[in-house]
Amino acid sequence: MSLVETTLEFVKTHQEWAVPIVFLLAFGESLAFVSLLIPATIILWGIGALIGAAGLEFWPLWAGAAIGAMMGDWLSYWLGYHYHNQIAASWPLKNHPDMIERGHRMFERYGVFAVFFGRFFGPLRAIVPLIAGATTMALIPFQLANVASALLWSAVVLAPGAFGAEFVQGVLN
């Protein structure tokens, strides 16, 4: 929790760094394997709360989160597409060899919806693009789902704190 608190305090004190930090958090949260190391979603929810409490602007932070999420998913897809044999032989996929085959069946059955909805489930968020690439899902449909889901996900993560704080203040006043 000290990383969460330290990051939130830094953003509150140095608001000019808020957008780059949100970009990096969303990028890391969407990047395969890196997302396991960073409590980015919790920090992003906290930054969302700072939007209402500390006067940060919603739209630049939303754009930073959306672009970071898009780029993280794109890089994960690219890694899966170009290095699928090496990735299949590495952790955690080597411990679950059926995951790529199940992923392939999932993409055949649900297509872009698998990518879109995968963004909203924490454990799947960073692995779905990797498996989409490893199963050679077509790039254009992947990117359409990637962009659409990143735009919505960034709003879902930041808006409750931003607009919830304004709502509560309006009710209390």
Predicted local distance difference test score (pLDDT) of residue 171 = 44
**Residue-range domain boundaries for the chain:** 2-172
For residues 154 and 26, the answer to whether their CB atoms sit within 8 Å is yes
Interval 13-58: pLDDT, tens: 999 999 999 999 999 999 887 877 888 888 999 999 888 777 889 9
* Burial profile 124-153: b = 16 or more Cβ within 10 angstroms, e = fewer: ebbbbbbbbbbbebeeeebbebbbebbbeb
Q: Which of 44, 37, 45 is nearest to 68 (CA)?
A: 44
Residue 24 CA to residue 72 CA, distance in Å, equals 9
**Three-state secondary structure along 20-45?**
HHHHHHHHHHHCCCHHHCCCHHHHHH
Between 98-110 and 127-134, two packed helices, what is the crossing angle to 10 degrees?
A: 90
Nearest CA to 63 among 102, 108, 19, 25?
19
- What mean pLDDT, rounded, does the chain reach? 86
Global pTM value: 0.86
